[in-house]
């Protein structure tokens, strides 16, 4: 049974993992998304924070919304990894 991903919009079932997706593919996707989130969040701390705060409020909100979606996808990928047999 395919694993529904909740990160885009809970309950809508827009995205699903294929039944035959392997643990390595899930791990690779999780690793990539974690690295992307790390890079995005680096722009919200230290000296980069001032540059971030110069953006329009709507751009800041959308930026952080993207970060939240990546974090939610990572959570879904972890759950999918835990549900897959070794």
pTM over the 0.85 mark: no
Residue at token pair 């989130």: 37
Q: What is the pLDDT of residue 59?
A: 97
**Furthest-apart CA pair in the chain: how many Å?**
47
Cβ-contact 35, 53 below 8 angstroms: no
Residue at token pair 């800041």: 60
15 phi and psi, to 5 degrees?
Answer: -115, 140
Which residues on adjacent β-strands are paired with residue 16? 4
Q: Where are the domains of the chain?
A: 4-83
Question: Splitting the chain (86 residues) into consecutive groups of 10 residues, what average pLDDT does each group show?
Answer: 61 73 93 97 93 96 94 92 86
């Amino acid at each position: 049974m395919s694993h529904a991903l909740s990160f885009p919009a809970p309950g809508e079932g827009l995205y699903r993992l294929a039944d035959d997706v392997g643990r390595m593919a899930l791990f690779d996707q999780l690793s990539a998304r974690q690295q992307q989130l790390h890079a995005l969040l680096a722009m919200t701390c230290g000296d980069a924070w001032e540059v971030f705060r110069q953006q329009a409020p709507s751009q800041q909100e959308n930026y952080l919304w993207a970060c939240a979606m990546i974090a939610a996808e990572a959570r879904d990928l972890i759950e999918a990894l835990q549900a897959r047999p070794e």
